[in-house]
A and B are shown apart, each in its own frame.
Chain A
């Protein structure tokens, strides 16, 4: 019952997302000016003939009042009839489908790298002993802050100029989904997210490390490593998992920059091109897929949190399965 209700809630959220996307995109593109019939006839300033413009306006219902156009668009969006792109004259679903894989691969590798970087930094920080190591941790903290505010376009440009153009170690352009091709754009995306996740994880680890259950475990003879991996990391991972939904959203928006910089095909570039040409159906299609993807990732993050933290499950079950030490906290 609760699972069903939860699922229905998620579906309602998805429908709400579709409605908001269709509405915001439609009116934002109209407010930005420009004529969609130009997009259909080969771009702004195309100087198409009067006859051609009239035909196009009739064909795409652009001569109808704005409200009617909006309702038509809304009806199509909530029923997932994405229609044809104005500028590319191909089905939106097909265009989005073509580019989806590349962006997902990039965002997934970006998230993975961000997690690995953040984990490495956070565990190194709590395990640091001695004065020199403590100093190094101080530097790492500053590094996290710097990383989390590093703009994607700057980092990407530096990587391209130094690693690709200057040294020639990795390609400046990134055309496929091979690791070699994905690495530079994924690092570009991962660093700011890692900076943020790292701060959250380190705080969680430090807190858990001094918590009573950790002390209890130590008194029972558990090694530092055991405490870290078996107990503390779970605590540190929770807020990081919750943030991963947000992080994935940030990676998708960062993908717009990374894909343009590295000349990668993908949803981000598709969105930029479509926005420039006022290609309403394509913009709605891309934004809808990104927004629904975000909802999906948030859902997965919710589930993961329940897997990692038994307290979030039904109480009785939690008492039965959770390790004794953790119920105290």
Chain B
């Protein structure tokens, strides 16, 4: 028995000899083994796909409640939005087949697809849309992302069964983009009526799968919706999914997810480490899906509301000395591409200007001298009026991967060459938000620089991140405009863009907005928000053009 074990085909390299002793002890218990065949097999119908996510386990499976990425990820399998977005960023029909907006931008008419029912048999009609939007707006739902998205809808008027009219309090050119997100996806009114606890455990939608069970900290079981009839704009299959079931597992450790994928325990993993992506790209039976998130890029925001970054010259000096390109290349091993834009590369309106982000130490030193930081202390840091040129950069260890933290350390070393002292403080998520919060809300604004992710479909994310309204903290003390830009001209451009229904004018305005943000050196763009999936033993996994979540409508296991 023991000797036979060593003859089993191993996929990746032989085990270290040191493991041999242990193996003897384990041999007796390793009976089953995995029977997943290696190599490219034929796609088959049916079967259970095992998905292992590194994102947090949602506390509620209804993405209307709260509204974060882990909820979008899983709810894509059972809830569908009114509209979709294709790979080019164009809004496409989905549950709603058509829409018109009146000239004043305040009244939207949506036409719903006919004969659609939720998986509990409740019809998807105008009344259902009304219930959903009111659910998002109800404070008891505790919606955040979805609430922000439908904030400007003042009233939902069901005209007839398949026609619904939305009355807005002010024009909102981002409305369709907002309605394409999972956080505003449609749910059965009967499901919502069951109350939050039951709806959180198993939301009811029109998606290709149905929530069949949830064992917390372990998995959610999703079963095929046999009556599925509402394929989105990016899938081929127009009937029920090929897969019979999905087991959605929560595996927080990236090395474990990778090992589980290698050993055939799971078929798809998300949030892999760069090394795993490189290994997958090198060939073999693992496929890599690179699906950058929309909205903003990963960037370092420079806090322009307090010294030393209230001076544009100091911000510019920081940017010219950071020298991030070599770090990104080595740490991410080629899986992340440098960005020079506030927006993700998947946003059609993204504007990029690499000339602003060159590395130029002499220029950086000149700018710092000019800004009055001309003295140098014993340790080589610049000082002004006895005050050291210190940049506090709190790092959220829950949101930042090892490679990114190493990149921050490189930036720390690089900017030191011109006299910046960058203080990196690793914090857990809650303490990190505490460090960012405004003084009047118990926080301390304890940061001069910070990297904060933000995902929203479309360029309207710029309004959330750079409008002066967003420097006013929410009741939680959090605010999205972390670079604390307060520029009346920028506000005016953003307001006009939000009201404008003319796509060309909108594009012009957003280009202008991005130029102002970049030229003001408020941010140091790094790379797209990373969204990678590795798959093995499964074909036709696709990601949606909205928030880049995977869908398994077309997926088939390979024999």
Contacts and interface: CB of A to CB of B under 8 A. Distances in A.
A226 B265 CA distance: 48
Interface in B156-203: 196-197, 200
Given A44-B433, A166-B15, A89 B144 contact: no
Contacts of B433: 33-35, 38, 44-45
Interface in B322-360: none
Given A44-B478, A180-B29, A160 B256 contact: yes
A164 B477 contact: no
Max chain B Cβ within 10 angstroms of own Cβ: one of A52, A172, A275 = A172
Contacts of B200: 89
Interface residues of B, number: 77
Interface string A59-83: 0000000000000000000000000
Interface stretch (B6-14, B83-91, B502-510): B6-14
Contacts of A170: 26, 29-30
Given A33-B431, A180-B30, A169 B5 contact: yes
A130 to B, nearest CB: 22
Interface string B209-228: 00000011111000000000
A50 to B, nearest CB: 5
A38 B263 contact: no
B144 A168 contact: no
B429 interface: yes
B248 to A, nearest CB: 12
Contacts of B19: 162-163, 167
Contact of B398 (A89, A173, A269, A276): A276
A230 interface: no
A86 to B, nearest CB: 9
Interface string A108-151: 00000000000000000000000000000000000000000000
B12 A89 contact: no
Given A33-B435, A169-B23, A173-B260, A48 B10 contact: no
Interface in B231-264: 249-253, 255-256, 258-260, 262-264
Given A35-B477, A47-B148, A165-B262, A183 B26 contact: yes
A161 B66 contact: no
Contacts of B321: none
A104 interface: no
B12 A44 contact: no
Interface residues of A, number: 65
Given A161-B259, A162-B16, A41 B66 contact: yes
Max chain A Cβ within 10 angstroms of own Cβ: one of B5, B216, B260, B430 = B430
A33 B264 CA distance: 41
Contacts of A277: 59, 430
Contacts of A40: 142
A47 B5 contact: no
B481 to A, nearest CB: 12
Contacts of A34: 429-431, 433-434
A2 interface: no
Given A47-B476, A265-B215, A41 B144 contact: yes
Interface string B486-526: 00000000000000000000000000000000000000000
B57 interface: yes
Interface stretch (B31-39, B292-300, B365-373, B412-420): B31-39
A33 B476 CA distance: 12
Contacts of B216: 88, 95, 98-99, 265
A48 B137 CA distance: 11
Interface in A7-59: 32-35, 37-56
A175 interface: yes
A47 B431 CA distance: 16
Contact of A166 (B12, B33, B59): B12
A263 interface: yes
Max chain A Cβ within 10 angstroms of own Cβ: one of B12, B56, B255, B434 = B255
B22 interface: yes
Contact of B249 (A33, A51, A173, A187): A173
Max chain B Cβ within 10 angstroms of own Cβ: one of A37, A52, A56, A269 = A52
B59 A180 contact: no
Contact of B144 (A32, A46, A159): A46
Nearest to B196: A89
B475 A53 contact: yes
Interface in B348-399: 398
B59 A88 contact: yes
A302 interface: no
Interface in B45-98: 52, 56-57, 59-60, 65-68
A287 interface: no
Contact of A48 (B29, B68, B250, B476): B476
A131 to B, nearest CB: 23
B139 interface: yes
B217 A42 contact: no
B464 to A, nearest CB: 9
A160 B30 contact: no
B67 A173 contact: no
Contacts of A273: 56-57, 217
Given A168-B263, A169-B5, A48 B474 contact: yes
B263 A171 contact: yes
A270 interface: yes
A53 B258 contact: no
B266 interface: yes
A85 B263 CA distance: 36
A149 B59 CA distance: 36
B480 interface: yes
Nearest to B25: A187
B42 interface: no
Max chain A Cβ within 10 angstroms of own Cβ: one of B52, B142, B219, B266 = B142
Max chain A Cβ within 10 angstroms of own Cβ: one of B218, B252, B432 = B218
A19 B461 CA distance: 47
Nearest to B263: A168
A45 B431 CA distance: 11
B142 A165 contact: no
A262 interface: yes
Contact of A278 (B30, B59, B430): B430
A93 to B, nearest CB: 14
Nearest to A170: B30
Given A41-B144, A263-B251, A183 B29 contact: yes
| For the complex of A and B, 4 pairs with smallest distance between CB atoms | A42-B66, A165-B259, A34-B430, A33-B434
Given A46-B476, A50-B475, A276-B429, 11 more contacts: A33-B431, A35-B477, A43-B68, A49-B147, A89-B200, A167-B10, A173-B265, A180-B31, A180-B32, A276-B428, A277-B59
Interface of A: 32-35, 37-56, 87-90, 95, 98-99, 157, 159-173, 175, 179-180, 183, 187, 260-263, 265-266, 269-270, 273, 275-278
23 contacts: A35-B442, A41-B66, A47-B148, A48-B142, A48-B144, A48-B475, A49-B139, A53-B476, A55-B139, A89-B197, A160-B256, A162-B15, A167-B10, A168-B11, A169-B8, A170-B26, A173-B260, A187-B25, A260-B253, A261-B256, A265-B215, A269-B217, A273-B57
